[in-house]
Amino acid sequence: MQSEMIRDDFAFFNHSDLVYLDSASTTQKPKSVLEAMDAYNTQYCANIHRSSHGLGNAATSKYETAREIIGKFLHVGDKSEIIFTKGVTEGINLVAQSYAKEHASCVIISALEHHSNILPWQQIKKPLHVIQTKENLTPDLEHFESLLAQNPNALVALIHTSNAFGITHPIKEMIALAHRYGAKVLIDAAQSASHMPINISDLDADFLVISGHKLYGPTGIGALYIKKDLHPLCNPYQVGGGAIMQVFYDHTEYLPIPYMYESGTPNIAGAIGFGAAIEYLQSVGYAYIAKHEQNIIAYALEQLSQIEDILFYTQVASMQSNISFNISNIHHHDLGILLDKQKVQVRVGHHCVQPTMRFLGIDGTVRVSVGIYTNKADIDQFIKALKRSIAMLKG
Ligand SMILES: Cc1ncc(COP(=O)(O)O)c(C=O)c1O
């Protein structure tokens, strides 16, 4: 069975008897990613874009190949549109400081945003406008349009798939609407990219961010896409060696993007591992991923829906890659502790969306998230452990 072969690719499952249902926080890493990083560290470790010796050239070539792999994966027009970052958080901060600070009048966000897509805009003191939600946490597109009409030169910053509630925004429609009013759009694809193909050319996003560690790659590496047309408007950020053409005591001439944004020695092994993770994901293929994950989620939802006193916060059918719930009169943290004791790893808490939780009148949920390696046995063990935990807590 393909799912068992996939599980074999992850060393974690060879030695662990834990049920891992927290892939939205970070994914496990396949052997090919670990091997690619190991090869860099043991066979051709050298700095990039500096040393003209053979080792340096080999490392530079692998690093730049990783950029190409990620560019093709996201269907960008030109690989210079891909900037390596530490992850989604750094990518959004970079856009805030280098672009939005000077060129955006305000920022329009959805009501489901991760703190990483709220704080960077507060930091540059831009007014934040929040799109109202309709029932089931879906965005009110009429309200969105009225915000766009009232706020020329806005930057729209939208989560693609909600990390906390698993629902996916209609971003193609929202990007087109924003563009009609002259706004630029940033998409936080931290959660969506591992579950569905992202085609930037088709979406026409202006900025888009992803993290390696949510795509079966290493931590501490991510990618930021900036549309080529906007490069002339983007200012330097975190400057230093590697970002420059010429330095004088009174001014500096910078290299073009992406190099202007990759000063200092970057996470070379991480970038190479990220490239290997994308190749791994592509070898599995989104057709399989979507079918497999939707089956697993549907299987979990079918059993969860039968549990007495379960509370969901959106339509059951719209939770695609993760499921958020509470059991009435039981605190999610108590469930988290008891599930952990039964070897089931889920995330409980506010999931970095405190304003959304406040809007719902709760302080958190239990979140179950899946990946390409999750199987039905994981769900069976989780449901059994959940039922036992509920029984214990309800006495
Ligand atoms: C939707 C979303 N945005 C941003 C982030 C932050 O990503 P990172 O920690 O990789 O910077 C996360 C991580 O959980 C996320 O789920």
Q: What is the pLDDT of residue 51?
A: 84
**Residue whose CB lies within 8 A of the most ligand 1 atoms, among 90, 109, 114, for a mutation test:** 114
Q: Whose CA is nearest to atom 16 of ligand 1?
A: 163
Catalytic residue among 45, 106, 234, 352, which?
352
Residue 258, preceding peptide bond in cis (omega within 30° of 0): yes
Count of Cβ atoms closer than 10 Å to residue 119 Cβ: 14
Residues 6+ apart with CB under 8 A from 179: 185, 204
Enumerate residues lining ligand 1, CB below 6 A: 87-89, 114, 116, 159, 163, 188, 190-191, 211, 222
* Domain 32-283: CATH architecture, name and number where available: 3-Layer(aba) Sandwich (3.40)
Determine contact, residues 351/369, Cβ cutoff 8 Å: no
Task: Name the one residue in this structure whose structure tokens are 């549907």.
Answer: 298
Q: What residue segments make up the domains of the chain, in order of their start?
A: 2-21+285-394, 32-283
Residue minimizing CA distance to atom 15 of ligand 1: 190
Residue 142 CB contacts under 8 Å (≥ 6 apart), including other chains: none
Question: Which of 117, 162, 191 to probe ligand 1 with, by most ligand atoms within 8 A of CB?
Answer: 191
Q: What is the reported pLDDT for 1? A: 57
Distance CA 274, CA 346 (A): 25
**pLDDT tens digits along 117-133:** 999 999 999 999 999 99
Query: Reduced to 3 states, what is the DSSP secondary structure of residue 238?
Result: coil
Question: Which pair of tokens denotes residue 189?
Answer: 């694809």
Residues of the chain with pLDDT under 50: none
Alpha carbon of 188 to ligand 1 centroid (Å): 8
Cα–Cα distance measured from residue 320 to residue 94, given in angstroms and rounded to the nearest whole number: 30
Identity of the residue numbered 18: L
C-alpha 230: how far from its chain's center?
A: 22
- 2-21+285-394 CATH, one of 3.90.1150.10, 3.40.47.10, 3.40.50.12160, 2.60.40.10: 3.90.1150.10
**Per-position DSSP letters for 164-204, written without gaps between them:** TT--B--HHHHHHHHHHTT-EEEEE-TTTTTTS---HHHHT
If one residue of 85, 161, 211 were mutated to test the ligand 1 pocket, choosing by the most ligand atoms within 8 A of its CB, it would be 211
Query: Closest ligand 1 atom, CA of 222?
Result: 10
Residue 56, judged by CB atoms within 10 A of its CB (0-12, 13-18, 19+), counts as middle
CA distances, 242 to each of 47, 246, 262 (Å): 11, 10, 7
pLDDT in tens, 254-286: 999 999 999 999 999 999 999 999 999 999 999
**Rounded (10°) angle between helices 332-341 and 376-394:** 120
With tokens 């970070």, the residue in question is 26
Q: How many whole angstroms from 218 Cα to the centroid of ligand 1? A: 14
Ligand 1 centroid vs 52 CA: distance in angstroms? 36
- Ligand 1, atom 14, lies closest to the CA of 25
pLDDT for 321? 83
Give the number of C-alpha atoms closer than 13 A to the C-alpha of residue 393, restricted to the C-beta side.
Answer: 19
234 is catalytic: no
Helix axes 141-150, 171-180, angle to 10 degrees: 30
pLDDT at 41: 98
Q: Are strands 244-247 and 222-226 parallel, antiparallel or unpaired?
A: unpaired
Residue 163: partners with Cβ closer than 8 Å, 6 or more residues away: 24, 114, 190, 191, 322, 351, 352, 353
Chain position carrying tokens 């694809």: 189
pTM for the model stands at: 0.97
Report the separation in Å between the CA atom of 114 and the middle of ligand 1, taken as the mean of its atom positions. Answer: 7
**CB contact burial 163-201 (16+ within 10 A = b; e otherwise):** bbbbbbbebeebbebbbebebbbbbbbbbbbbbbbbebe
What's the confidence (pLDDT) of residue 395?
A: 79
CA–centroid distance, 209 to ligand 1, in Å, is: 9
